[in-house]
Chain A
C-alpha cells in the first residue's frame, strides 16, 4: 500500500477536520437520546456506585443524612439567634435549604468528574457519552432521597400547616433541576476532562456560593438588595424546591430565571457537545 501522498499532507491545523457540521449535530443528538434509552444501564450503575461507596459501612448513605442533621442542629440554634428568627420558623427553612443545596451543589462539583472518572470505560467500549451524565444525576437524586429523611423529622418537631396542593409543585421544580443537572454535568465534565484545573476552581466557587446564596438565611434579610438573590440561579433552584415544602409561594422570578438558565444552558452545552464530543475519548 503506497502512502507517499500522506507524507506531504500532514500540515498544521488539520486536526479540526472532523466530520461535517450537520453530522456532528446529528451524532450529538443521537448520543443524548441513545444514552437516555439505556436507563436500565445508568440506573444500575448509579445504584452500584452508592453500594460500593458505602461498602463496609453500617449506616451507608445515611451517614450523609446524619452529617446534615448534625449540621442543621448545630447551625439552627446559633443562626436563629443571630437572625433573630423564631426557631420554629428558622429550622424548617434551614433543613430544606441545606438538603436541596447539597443536592444542587453535589451535581455541580461532581459534574466536573463526569468523564474523567470513567475514562477506563470511555477508552474501552463505545457507549453514548451522555450515559455518564444521566448516571451522575440519578446518583445524586438517590442521595437526595436519603438526605430528605431529615425534612419530615424537622416538620414533625415544628408542625406547620402543610399545603398539600402546593407540595405537588415540588414535582416540576425537581424535574427542572434534574434537567439542568444533565447539561451542567456534560458541560463541566467536558471542560474538566480537557482542563484539569477546572474542578478545584469550581469547588471553590461553589463554596463561596454557599455563603452568598440565601440558603441558611432568608432572602428577605437582604432588604433593598434583594436583587442579589433574585439574579442568582442557585437561589432560584433552591426556591422552586423549598418554597412548596414551606408552604410559601414560589417567587415568579425563580421560575423565570430557571427557565432562562435551562434554555441557555442546554443550547450552549449542545453546541459545545456537538463540536467536541468526539474529542472526549482523547481528553479523558
Chain B
C-alpha cells in the first residue's frame, strides 16, 4: 500500500546569495510571493510552505494548483523526498518516480540511450534490468538516430520526450509530475497522456502540479489549492478548481483568514 502523509509540513529557504536589501524590495513589490522574514542572524528566510497537512491514499490522483509562487514545486519536491521539511513530518511508502524539471539529472554529454539507462540507475534500477525497458523507452521517444547523439544537441521538445520516456519506463508506486509536461507538442502530449494513464492504472498514486485546469479535471480526483505557501483548500477536484477560478478572478482565496497574513 502506497501513501503520502504530511503533518504540519513547513519549508523555509534561507537566502544567502541575495542582499537583504534587494529581497526586501522584492517583498514590497510582489503580492503573490510567499512569506519572507528575518531570523536571529538577520538572515533572509523565505517560507515556501506553511503547515501543510494532508494524506494521499492508494488510488488517488492528486492535483496541486495555485498561482505562480504558491509553492507547488516546493511541495512536489517534499513529496518526492528531495526536500526534507524544515518542520513538521512527512512520511511515504512506495517507490517514487518524479518528473520535476526535465533538464535535471541529464548528462548532456551522454547520448539519449545512455541517459535512459542513467535515469534508470538513479531510479534504483540496475542497468541489467533496465536493458529491455530502455529499448522500449527509446522506441517511445520516436527520436530515431538522435538517440545515439549527445543530449546537448537536442531541442527542448526532444529533451521532454526523452525525460518523459525514461522516467516512465517502469510503473512506480507514486508518480510525481510538474507542469512542464504540458509543454510538449500536441501529438506527443496525447501519446504521453495515454502512457501516464496506463502508468497511473498500474501505479497507485499520481501527484500532478499544473496550471491547466482541463488536464487537472481530466486526470485528478482530489487536490490542494495552494496560496502563498498555505493550503487554501483541500478537497474534490471540482471544488478546488472552482476556488482557484474565484481566486484568479477576484483575488480572494477561499479561506478569508488568509487575508490577515498579508498585513
Q: Are B109 and A14 in contact (CB-based, < 8 A)?
A: no
Partner of A124, one of B12, B84, B101, B110: B101
Q: Judge whether A282 and B105 touch: CB under 8 Å.
A: no
Q: Which one, B13, B114, B257, B261, contacts A282 given CB within 8 A?
A: B13
Query: Can you list, as one digit per residue, whether each of B110-153 has a CB less than 8 Å from chain A (1) or not (0)?
Result: 10001000100111101100000000000000000000000000
Q: Is the pair A1, B121 in contact by a Cβ cutoff of 8 Å?
A: no
User: In whole angstroms, how far apart are the Cα atoms of A10 and B49 in the complex?
Assistant: 11
Are B39 and A18 in contact, with the CB atoms below 8 A? Answer: no
Of chain B, the residue at the smallest CB distance from A40 is: B126
In the bound complex, how far is the Cα of B98 from the Cα of A255, in angstroms?
A: 47
- Write out, one digit per residue, whether chain A residues 13-53 have a CB within 8 A of any chain B CB (1) or not (0): 11101110000000000000000001011001100100010
Which chain B positions have C-beta within 8 A of A122? 82
Give chain A residues whose Cβ lies under 8 Å from the Cβ of B103.
Answer: 120
User: Would you call the interface of chain A mostly helix, strand, loop, or mixed?
Assistant: helix
Asked if A5 is at the interface (CB within 8 A of a chain B CB), the reply is yes
Please indicate the chain A residues that have their CB under 8 angstroms from the CB of B83 in the complex. Answer: 281-282
B84 adjacent to A3 (CB under 8 Å) = no
Chain A residues whose CB sits within 8 angstroms of the CB of B219 once the complex forms: none
Q: Check A281–B233 contact: CB distance below 8 A.
A: no
Asked, given contacts A10-B35, A10-B50, A45-B121, whether A278 binds B257 with beta carbons under 8 Å apart, the answer is no
Give the size of the chain A interface in residues (CB under 8 angstroms).
37
User: Given contacts A125-B122, A282-B13, are A18 and B47 in contact (CB under 8 A)?
Assistant: no
A14 touches B12 (CB 8 A): yes
Main secondary structure of the interface of B (DSSP, over half): mixed
B50 touches which of A2, A3, A15 (Cβ 8 Å): A3
User: Does A252 interact with chain B (Cβ within 8 Å)?
Assistant: no
A12 lies within 8 A of B51 (CB):
no
Structural contact, A123 and B100, CB atoms closer than 8 A: yes
Tell yes or no: A121 within 8 A of B by CB. yes
Contact of B87 with A14 in the complex, beta carbons under 8 Å: yes
Does the CB pair A4–B84 fall under 8 Å? no
B86 pairs with A2, CB closer than 8 A: no
Interface of chain B residues 1 through 52 with chain A (CB within 8 A): 10, 12-14, 16, 35, 37-40, 45, 47, 50-51
Which B-chain residue is minimally distant from A49 (CB atoms)?
A: B107
Q: Are A1 and B234 in contact (CB under 8 A)?
A: yes
B127 to chain A, nearest CB (A): 6
Name, among A1, A7, A13, A40, the residue most crowded by chain B CB atoms within 10 Å (CB to CB). Answer: A1
Assembled-state Cα–Cα distance A14/B231 (Å): 20
Q: Does the CB pair B86–A125 fall under 8 Å?
A: no
Q: Looking at B16, B38, B84, B123, which has the most chain A CB atoms within 10 Å of its CB?
A: B84
Q: B233 — which chain A residues lie within 8 A by C-beta?
A: 1
CB <8 Å contact, A7 and B260: yes
List residues of chain B with CB within 8 A of the CB of A40: 126
Q: Please name the residue on chain B nearest to A15 by beta carbon.
A: B12
Contact with B along A109-133 (1 / 0, CB 8 A): 0000000000011111111000000
**Sample (14) of A-B pairs whose CB atoms are under 8 Å apart:** A3-B231, A3-B257, A6-B50, A12-B39, A13-B40, A15-B86, A18-B84, A18-B86, A52-B107, A55-B109, A120-B103, A124-B105, A125-B98, A126-B80
Contacts A2-B257, A15-B12 supplied; 8 other A-B pairs, CB < 8 Å: A3-B50, A3-B258, A4-B260, A6-B51, A14-B86, A15-B39, A125-B105, A126-B81
Binding site for B on A (CB under 8 A): 1-7, 9-15, 17-19, 38, 40-41, 44-45, 48, 52, 55, 120-127, 194, 278, 281-282
